[in-house]
Chain A
Amino acid sequence: MGSTTAEHEHGPDGVDTTHPEGVGRRDLIKRSAALGLITVPTMSFLSACASGGGGDDDTSEDTQGETSESNPFGVKKGSKLDVVIFKGGYGDAYAKAWEAAFQKKWGVTSTHTGTQEITGKLQPRFNAGNPPDIVDDSGAQQIPIDVLYKNDQLLDLAAVLDAPSIDDPAKKVRDTLIPGTLDAGMQEDKVVALNYIYTVWGLWYSGKLFKENGWEEPKTWADFLTICKEAKAKDIGGLAHQGKYPYYINVAIMDLIAKTGGLDAMKAIDNLDPKAFVGSDAAKAGVEAIYEIVEKGYLMPGTNGLTHTESQTRWNQYKAVFITSGSWLENEQLKQTPDDFDMKFMPMPLLPDSVMPFEAIRAGSGEPFIIPSKAKNLPAAKEFMRMMLSKEWSTLFAKEANSLTILKDGVDPGVQLRPGTQSTVEASQAAGDNTFRYLYTEWYSEMDTAIQNASNELMAKRIQPAEWLKRAQAAVDKQAKDPDSKKNRRD
């Protein structure tokens, strides 16, 4: 073996560095330093918190005009409005249409920013006391409303809500809204965020598929199962759900529970009742009904492991009759939906002896719009928000974003809506006051996750309804005992 490569290595000072112990230790230090860089990269954002403050700029510099009956806030012609819109599932085309209409009516030009990085773009501006005039504070990077509120950054929207409505000046703006939709934006009895989009949740189907098979909207659970059975005979799945996100199948389970047992059954869950699930007949009936679908093989094959887009697209390809989702579904699936699909929304069918009527739906509001208290052009911002709650702008929104707003009957009947959105309009009119909305999903995310996991197991047939009820109750009890979680209550 003549040609070996290296002799003993020597350090610059002639120190022998080949001793194995020494090398090992030095390598160790090097490597542990390297792993420090790798392992916990998530920690660097800890220092990113900032609090409010900033200069006390005069907010009404030259933006306050004369007030009059038609101009209650005194919008000043020629002033500027700074609008920031979260550009997510609803896009931002609707806001551009609004701003054009606003400029036409008031002569106020606007600077428009459509972005997904709400926190990144706005936090520095809030800190510097230089916030925009109106913001759609939504999406994954929204700035938490309560944080902004605690830092005195939000305008109390009472002035807007108590102003006369554009469509009917005899009424206040707040009286033209769907009842209960302002609750989501309240902090300490003040409305500081306007949750503008009205969302309904339930089942969706293809009108075309129904027509081809001579099916009618099933009003009872038995009819629903009959359709699933007929579909199965034709190799079509009955129900699809977004298995990777059990949030969606929980909509079906929880809606059945609420409709069977009435609002009391729903509030028992939100209020962490020790008999919310175990010992509740409605809960038992609801979860057993869903399990029947699994047991009889009416689920779309593989749906338990699919993401929301995967299973929704399969449904758009007529691989399943029904799917559970909220009213954003149509806009989300625009590109995948065949032209003649004829998307339709329907409430959950009824189990025997249900307290609520078939028409009852889960409904509520989302997408918070805020006016910063330090906005430069407060009069125009307030007027802008008042106009958002006019029939004209609400219709514009419905056309551009395929969704409803919190304005009661807010879409002009002459407007041609997409079929899915149109069917949600009809469904929510038919529902009238028969709407309900769970709040535990907002209040107790840990309990929500635990119930979602149980539902995933149920749909995969790994647990039975009795076990599901036990696990869901355990999640409720755990949340009730948790000393850290704030205790909310609804009556």
Chain B
Amino acid sequence: MRKGQNRFVVGFLLVPVALYLIFVIWPYIQTFGYSLTDWKGQSQTFAFIGLDNYTALFEDDIFLQAIWHNILFLVFIPVITILLALFFAFMLNAGGRGRAGGVSGVAGSGFYKIVYFFPQVLSLAILAVLFGAVYRSDSGGMLNGLLMKLGLVDESAPIEWLNEPNMVLWALILVVVWHGVGFYLVLFSAAMQAIPRDIYEAALIDGAGRAHTFFRITLPLLWDSVQTAWVYLGIAAMDMFILVSTMTAGEYGGGPDHHSEVMATVMMRNFLLYGRSGYACAMGVVMLLLTLIVSVVMLRATRRERVEF
């Protein structure tokens, strides 16, 4: 019986595994192969040059700077997004003052839940256009227009949000956070609703305030969801290609003067503009490795005893 079962399972798995190998794994292997050549990307002629591309990578200031920016994103995007989402989710689900002894969200929480989710409906491309208009560098921009009306910004010297080296990364982080909070709010809400009411009620009877309830009950019981959110946001922070390339200055973005460069934008510029495709493939391999390391580390670092209830 067991034997027949195995054959049955293998039969089902064969096709998907084959597809996965051909369309997912094989391109990775190909990329690694190309990364050992001086391929120019316009024809199938190239020479094997060993690890030269990789040694060149470690002397490429722009790529190293890009890695640094990705790391900054990696630190700030998940932290800010998760904290905000947790706070909002808690307020919507358990933050209301105990009316009639029950546990509920703040007034109007059903409405807020829907509104918070709105940004998630937009695609990144639309988001880039939208925030392009918000950050626009003359009086036509939403932020600049507003600040000018309030008399905080001189009309002849508007703030060039995306053209200021010290501001551009924060401007991008804000967009990602704005986009992501709603989704993680819903994720955390769902997890919170799975927490038995009576735990909260017991806490309430014991006289726990909002903060206590959150740190002692909600957060520990949500840990699995937080961990998942952490990994997904980490992966998003390692990419950032669409936003950076469409919103910031230069071919494939990264401006002003490489101050918002991420690994993916440097890679694309080398691949398509400079005709250094082999070198770009080496960057791709490094990106893959770093992203893998990041997710392993994040899962390890956030692992803790699972709470059963």
Q: In the complex, what distance in Å separates the CA atom of A274 from the CA atom of B251?
A: 27
Which chain B residues numbered 251 to 302 have a C-beta less than 8 Å away from chain A? 251, 255-258, 264, 267-269, 271, 273-276, 281, 284, 287-288, 291-292, 295-296, 299
B257 A301 Cβ-Cβ under 8 A: no
Contact with B along A218-249 (1 / 0, CB 8 A): 00000000000000000000000001111000
Given B24, B138, B156, which contacts A314 in the complex, CB threshold below 8 Å?
Answer: B138
Q: In the complex, what distance in Å separates the CA atom of A306 from the CA atom of B132?
A: 10
Q: In the complex, what distance in Å separates the CA atom of A306 from the CA atom of B64?
A: 28
Cβ of A334 within 8 Å of any chain B Cβ, yes or no, is: no
**Shortest beta-carbon distance, A131 to chain B, in Å?**
18
Cβ of A104 within 8 Å of any chain B Cβ, yes or no, is: no
In the complex, the chain B residue whose C-beta lies closest to that of A310 is: B136
B contact residues around A4 at 8 Å (CB): 196, 308-309
**Shortest beta-carbon distance, A108 to chain B, in Å?**
34
In the complex, the chain A residue whose C-beta lies closest to that of B236 is: A38
B contact residues around A42 at 8 Å (CB): 264, 267-268, 271, 284
Cβ of B44 within 8 Å of any chain A Cβ, yes or no, is: yes
B309 A43 Cβ-Cβ under 8 A: no
Cβ of B303 within 8 Å of any chain A Cβ, yes or no, is: yes
B288 A40 Cβ-Cβ under 8 A: yes
Q: In the complex, what distance in Å separates the CA atom of A445 from the CA atom of B270?
A: 10
B contact residues around A245 at 8 Å (CB): 249-250
- With contacts A3-B196, A31-B299, A304-B160 taken as known, whether A38 is within 8 angstroms of B235 at the C-beta atoms is yes
- With contacts A1-B199, A246-B249, A301-B156 taken as known, whether A144 is within 8 angstroms of B42 at the C-beta atoms is yes
A contact residues around B267 at 8 Å (CB): 42
Which chain A residues numbered 49 to 67 have a C-beta less than 8 Å away from chain B? 49, 51
A contact residues around B239 at 8 Å (CB): 38-39
Q: In the complex, what distance in Å separates the CA atom of A23 from the CA atom of B228?
A: 13
B30 A46 Cβ-Cβ under 8 A: yes
Q: In the complex, what distance in Å separates the CA atom of A303 from the CA atom of B284?
A: 35
A-B contact pairs, 27 of them (CB 8 A): A1-B199, A4-B196, A8-B308, A20-B305, A24-B303, A31-B299, A35-B291, A40-B28, A46-B27, A46-B281, A47-B27, A49-B44, A51-B43, A146-B42, A243-B249, A244-B249, A301-B156, A302-B137, A302-B138, A304-B137, A304-B160, A305-B163, A446-B274, A449-B273, A452-B250, A456-B250, A484-B276
Which residues of A come within 8 Å of B, CB atoms? 1-6, 8, 18, 20, 23-24, 27-28, 31-32, 35-40, 42-44, 46-47, 49, 51, 144, 146-147, 150, 243-246, 297, 300-306, 310, 314, 445-446, 449, 452-454, 456-457, 460, 462, 484
Which residues of B come within 8 Å of A, CB atoms? 23-24, 27-28, 30-31, 34, 38, 42-44, 135-141, 144, 155-158, 160-165, 194, 196, 198-199, 202, 228, 231, 235, 238-239, 249-251, 255-258, 264, 267-269, 271, 273-276, 281, 284, 287-288, 291-292, 295-296, 299, 303, 305-306, 308-309
